[in-house]
Each structure stands twice: as C-alpha cells, then as structure tokens.
Amino acid sequence: MTATTTEPAPVRSLWKTFAVFLGPLVLTNMLQALSGTLNNIYVGQMLGVGALAAVASFFPLLMLFISFVIGLGAGASVLIGQAWGAKETEKVRAIAGAVLAAGFFLGVVVGLLGMVLAEPIMRLLGTPADVLAQAVAYATVMMAALPLLFVSMLAAAVLRGVGDTVTPLLSLVVSSSIVLVLTPALIQGWLGLPALGVTGGAWATLLSSAMALLWLARFLRRRERALAPDRSFWRHLRLKPQFLKPVIRLGFPTGLFFITGSVADLALLRLVNGYGSHATAAWGAVSQVMAYAQFPAISIAIAASVLAAQAIGAGKLQQVDAVTRVGLGMNIVITGGLAVAVLVAARPIISLFITAPAVIELAAGLLHITVWASLIFGLASVFTSVMRASGTVLVPTLISLSCLGLLLFPLGWAFSQTFGLRGIWMSYPATYAVALLLQASYFYGVWKKKPIRKMV
C-alpha cells in the first residue's frame, strides 16, 4: 500500500469519528427495518400465525429485489466519498442525481414486473397453501412501494457519502412514526380507515415512504446543504453513464452478494417450508431478529467504506489501515455485545412476534444457533468494505459469492439431514466463518501490497 504521508494514523481520534458517524447510522439501519418489524408484530398479534407466515414468505423475495439497490448505494457512497474528500462539490451533486434517477427507474420496472408475477413467484417458493392468497396480496402492495423504497435507500446512501448520517436518521424517524400509527389502523380499520387485514402493513410502508421523502426534500432545502433538491440539483437527475458506470462497477458486486444471499435464503426457505407453517412463522421471526443483529455489522462496514473512501480522496492513505483496525474492533465490541444480549433475551424477543408457545420455543432455539453469524459476518465485511473503497471488488466478491453459492445451501441441506430444522440455521455461522478466513487472507496477503489510486 502506498501513502502520501508518513504520519501515524490517528487511531484514537478515528474511534471518535467512527462513533459519531456510526451512532446515527446504526439507528438508521435499525429504524429502516422497523416498518417491517412493526408490521410483523402487529400481524402476528392481531391476525395470528397464519398471517405472519404469509408475510414471512415474502421477506426473502423483498430482499432479493432490493439487493441491487443496496449495491448501488454502496458504490455511490464510495464514489461520492472520494469526491467529497477531494472537495469537488459539483461532482458530488452530479453523481447523486444520476444515482437517484437510476434508482427510481429501476424501482418502477422491478415493481411492475413483481406485481404481475407475484402469484407464480410465491408458488415457486413453495409458500404453504393455507397462506398463499394472503402472501400474494401482501407482495403485490409491497411491489408498488418499491420505487419509493429504492429512492429512500439511495438518498440515505448519498448523504452518508458526504459524512451525513444524522439526516437519514431523522427521515426514518418520520417514516417509522407514521408506520407506528398507520399499520394497526389499516390492519383493523381504526381512525375511520378501511380494514385491510394482512396488506395493511404494506400500505403503511408505501404511504410512510412517500411522506418521509417529501419531508427529506423540504428539510434539505431549508438547510441549504450541498445535496438540497433545488433547481440546479434537478438538472442532475438524469441517467449519466460517466457516473453510473463506476457506481455500478463498485456496487454491482455488493448487490450481487445480497442477491446471491437472498437466493440462498429462498432455497433454504423451501427446506423450512417443508416443516410446516409453524416452521415458516419461526423463520420469519428469527429473520427479523437477525436483521437487527446484523445491522451494527452492516453499519460498521458502511462506515469503514465511507471513511476509507474519504481518506483516499483526500490523499491520506495511511489512515486506511487505521480505519480497518477500528472497524474490526467496533465489530467485536458492538456486534459481539449485541449477539450476547440477543442470546440472553431470545424468548422475550421472539414473543414480540409470536404468541404460540411451541413456536416461541422453536424460534428461540434457532436464534441461539444463528446469532453468532452476525459477528463473523461483520468482521468479514470490514475487509471487503475497505477494499471496495479503493476500487478492489473482483476477488472479494468472488470469495463472498463462492461461499454463499457453494456452501450455504449445501451445508443447510446436509446439516438438516442430521439435525433437522436446527441444522438449516447452522449453515449460516459455518459459511461466514469460511468467508472471514478467506477475506482476511486476501486482505493481508495480497491487497495491502498493491498501490491505491483515486477513482474520481
């Protein structure tokens, strides 16, 4: 690794910078899942296990559809981070406009296709027959919300690229507050609203996303920030290949990683569905808890990527090593601590989603097995995120995809032959452990010996 300075990286101050950046980011990622979590709690408590199983059947499909947008956001954060570190504000606005335009267009296309194909897809996934109709209805409404969800996710990623993690948090506080009120009202028909049953949560997600985006636009304009959607910014809302190509090159591997993970999850869900609707409901509850357990790990990886990209853009390459060390330490402290807390409080947490005692016991046991995967995943993600900040994506992506594609489902199937349903969940920590070993080996053995160059 080459550097423009011989000064030691300011590790102590970097811990503080990480913490300031990371605190709102962790809360933001948790609140981003709050809509789905509240929906599952309300559906499980108000409508029962069958309705919860219907919603759970759609969750891996939703992750599949938004995976590419997660990748676009990752690529945009890196490119914008480098431009921001180099103090090129107009280039930051141009990249942001191109990314937001691409996200909306993608959301419209994917949403329309998803609405048309909702039923055959849910059948293909092996959704239990007793919840198929509800699952299709829920999926159709959520597909209609994809353009707004995509733009919301990318707006947050763009703001993170310039070091702003507070504004996305405030926007999600607005969205989550609306969901908190609208979800039960639309499920049961309170406040003079129609009773929509299982689709009430999906409609609440759509409406809250629209209102939060309006709030965000107004908030940014009032603050006169670099990314405020004023007239000059609107001129940048175009599909610009010169910016989208590097964003896609950086972000596509990340999106492909999540897509591959979602496909592997869908394959494992087929195995789970074979154990009946109670197992499917347990899958949904554990998946929601695991999303929260992984959010600190994902947030730390995002922070590492953005801070490394800004350091590269500013020419402070020596600081990249410090970013890596602090990111790994943050994972051990925060993600590891959260895993212990979830382990201790597994049953009370699961009871938020499920009322049936047998299903609570089943889901809590599964959570004990898989919660450690979040820590292992977080450590591996720091290595891949720092490498991505420099433009190195091919080998880290091949490692990640190989583990997910060649290990996760085969291990899940093999373990299930011996341990039953519990064996399916054992495949997660086992797969991530192999990925961590390979990523760390490539990072220290190959990547650190290469020069780092700016991409913008």
Question: Could you report the per-residue pLDDT of 218-275, keeping only the tens digit for each?
Answer: 999 887 677 888 888 888 888 888 888 888 888 888 778 777 877 787 788 888 887 7
- For 157-180, the pLDDT digits (tens) are 999 998 898 998 999 899 888 888
**Is 4 inside any structural domain?**
no
How far apart CA 272 and CA 22 sit, in angstroms, is 35
- Of all residues in the chain, what percent carry a pLDDT higher than 70? 95
Would 455 be classed as within a structural domain? no
Please tell me the predicted confidence (pLDDT) of residue 38: 67
Other Cβ atoms within 10 Å of 2 Cβ, number: 9
6 within a domain of the structure (yes/no): no
pLDDT-derived band at 1, boundaries 50, 70, 90: very low
Domain-embedded: residue 384: yes
Question: Looking at the domain assignment, is residue 113 inside a domain?
Answer: yes
Q: 143 lies in which domain range?
A: 11-449
d(CA 283, CA 43): 15
56, 284 contact by CB (below 8 A): yes
234 domain-assigned: yes
Query: 382: pLDDT confidence band, cut at 50, 70 and 90?
Result: very high
Q: What is the DSSP letter of 312?
A: H
Tokens linked to 288: 């929601």
What is the pLDDT confidence band of residue 214, given thresholds at 50, 70 and 90? very high
Domain count, the chain: 1
Q: How far apart are CA 36 and CA 352, in angstroms?
A: 13
Longest dimension (CA), the chain: 67
The residue ranking higher by pLDDT, 29 or 221, is 221
**How far, in Å, are 268, 359, 422 from residue 415 at the CA level?**
12, 21, 8
| Residue 8: per-residue pLDDT | 43
Q: What is the mean pLDDT of the chain?
A: 84
Q: Is residue 456 part of a domain?
A: no
Q: Is the pLDDT of residue 5 over 80?
A: no
